[in-house]
Structure 1
Amino acid sequence: MRVFACLPVSPFSLPEGCPVRPAIAPVRPARRVRVGCRGIMAAGVVIVGACLLLAVNVAWNGRVWAADAPRAAAPTPVPTVPEHEGAGHEAWSFARCTATVSDDPDGARDYAEDWLNHGGGLEAQQCEALARIELGDVATAAASLDRLAHVPGWPVGDSAHAGMQPDTPQSLRRRAAVAEQAARAWQADDSPKQAFDSATYGLMLEPDDVPLRLVYARVAVELDQPQRAIDTLTPLPSVPAERDEALVARAAAWRRMGRIEQAMTDINAALKDMPRNGAALLERGILYQREGQMAQARADWQDVVTLAPDSDEADLARQDLSLLETDPEAP
């Protein structure tokens, strides 16, 4: 069974209405995270017996923290700075937490746990799960992400009100993104059934979400349900990069159905746009092998190893090359 094991470390940025997703191996590298701005606060100055407060609100991904100074009268109360953001401490943020997940997962996990101890909510739990993936505790992380995806409302960083707020278009997108992360983590844990369940739930939240459709289709192929994959990926996405990924996934589905000619048409269309893509070359090598063209299959698999020797695609290509050496005529 071929399992896609590369995972993103930062699922989306959190500006209103703008989730960003990563694609996964063997087709795309991990996501990037946009790091938020740091807050700057200005205090009011007392002049000639009258209190004048100047408060500067700083936004991070649509969230605003405000601090107030003494004033004679205020029409509405202004929230105070949380204790954990005391002197010398920067505001907690999901972007800051995930920024070092790949390079320093221990540090990211410690940051998330400290954040949780100081009132962190859903975002802190999500960051901790992503750090656990990098540290190898994939099953625990996948279960945590799946649980978080089922929490309605998704208030930013506020676990006290989790599940108590109605969903908005933004919260549905956030929950779908977390469901996608859960599905990818289950794939990496070699648990395709759980991955399929997480992807299916995510598509209930956001039916037109292309990254989720891609994950769903790949897992469907793993579970020997290629027609589901083809139905999900047809028509193809309009964005070129997503279209090429869908072509590779659909080619695998056609192959599983024994329709090698259609699979070869899709994979060659993808390779026309991205000739050095390891996942596409790996798939075409398999198709060549099915057609009995062993020399072409070997050339594609060797290209995969040469282009990205440390990738998951290269590991799979080496396995195929080893089998080819053992039985050169095997279809």
Structure 2
Amino acid sequence: MILLILAAQAAAPAPTTAEPSRFAQCAALAADAPDRAIEQANQWQMLGGGAEARQCIGLAYAAQERWIPAATAFEQAARQAEISQQTSPAALWVQAGNARLAGGEAQAARAAFNAALARGELTGAPLGEAHLDRARATVALGELAGARGDIDKALALVPEDPLAWLLSATLARRQNDLARAQQDIDEAARRSPDDASVALEAGNIAILAGAPAAARAAWQGAILNQPGSAAAVTAAAQLKQLDAESATPEG
């Protein structure tokens, strides 16, 4: 699922550290051998590894897609960093939020993103991505109207991120604002023309707008662009349904 991929990407290490070589080694080990990384990071923690050691534990759990233990480790790291200032607490809260979101805990995820944004440390692209992450959590909670503000802030801060435009288009479609949905999916497609998720959403918007031919072309594009992906599988199902409806005689 795209959500799991995004959460794993959000867990990529980018700290400002007192011991960069040790953290870098632990983070690399977390990606390649997470069990060993957890063992070594726990030993490091007992020796005073602090927030960095806990962050490495979180990275290792994330590599195993054990999202809730990962989130717990990132939250512990964030709280420790708030005291020690060893690394950025805000970045750690973002990692915690993404892990919570990947684990299906949207309420806890939003709380983590709130904590990250409340610190006022994030600027530029990281700030935009944090707003986008909080919007994803808000949508997962079914609060569509509440997500629009964060998505619009993300679009202003990271306008070249196709995901921001894709999520904005999806939100607009779900709110029955098809004009905004079409505008934003066009922007997403311009930035990521081969993304099956973008093509899938373009088809979803087209079918609601009464353009089945355009929907068919978009869904076929999703399948061709990234065969076997989750978006391609969904697009194939949508095409099958469209074919069935087209074959059903009216009246």
Same fold (TM over 0.5): yes
Cα distance, 1:240 vs structure 2: 4.2
Distance 1:248 1:112 in 2: 37
Quick one: which amino acid aligns to residue 125 of structure 1?
R
1:189 pairs with 2:100:
no
Residue in structure 2 matched with residue 102 of structure 1 by the alignment: 31
Deviation by residue 1:140-186 (Cα, 9 ceiling, x = unmatched): 21233234333423442xxxxxxxxxxxxxx5xx1111111112112
Question: What is the percent sequence identity of the aligned residues?
Answer: 26
Aligned match for 1:288, one of 200, 203, 206: 206
d(CA) in 1 for partners of 2:108, 2:227: 30
Moved more, 116-125 or 253-262: 116-125
* Counterparts of 2:25 and 2:227, CA distance in 1: 31
Helix, strand or coil: the match of 2:83?
coil
Matched, 1:178 2:69: no
Name the structure 1 match of 2:3: 4
What is the aligned partner in structure 1 of residue 54 from structure 2? 125
Question: 1:307 Cα shift?
Answer: 3.3
Quick one: distance in 1 between partners of 2:11 and 2:183? 34
CA contact (8 A) 2:222 2:231 kept: no
Return the structure number with greater helix share. 2
Any unmatched runs of 5+ in structure 2? 247-251
Q: Distance in 1 between matches of 2:45 and 2:21?
A: 10
Q: Is 1:270 paired with 2:188?
A: yes
Q: Sort the Cα spacing of 1:150 and 1:283 in 2 relative to 1 into closer, same or farther, 3 A.
A: farther
Of structures 1 and 2, the larger Rg is shown by: 1
Q: CA deviation at 1:263?
A: 0.7
1:13 offset after TM fit, Å?
2.4
Count of matched residue pairs: 237
Structure with more relative contact order (C-alpha pairs < 8 Å, separation 6 or more): 1
Shift, 1:8, TM fit: 2.1
Displacement of 1:9 in angstroms is 6.7
Aligned to 2:15: 14
Which moved further from structure 2: 299-308 or 132-141? 299-308
> What's the C-alpha RMSD, in Å, of the aligned pairs?
2.8
The 1:326/1:282 distance shift into structure 2, 3 A limit, reads closer
Moved more, 131-140 or 110-119: 110-119
Structure 1 runs not aligned, ≥5 long? 16-60, 65-90, 157-170
CA-CA distance at 1:226 after TM superposition: 2.3
Q: TM-score, normalised by structure 1?
A: 0.62
Match of 2:63 in 1: 134
Residue 92 of structure 1 deviates from its aligned partner by 6.2
Letter in 2 for 1:273: R
> How far apart are residue 257 of structure 1 and its match?
0.9
Tell me the distance in 1 between the aligned counterparts of 2:41 and 2:220.
41
- Structure 1 counterpart of 2:237: 322
1: CA distance, partners of 2:224 / 2:30: 28
The yes-or-no answer on 1:233 pairing with 2:151 is: yes
CA–CA separation in structure 2 for the residues paired with 1:308 and 1:323 = 16
Cα distance between partner residues in 1 of 2:105 and 2:67 = 11
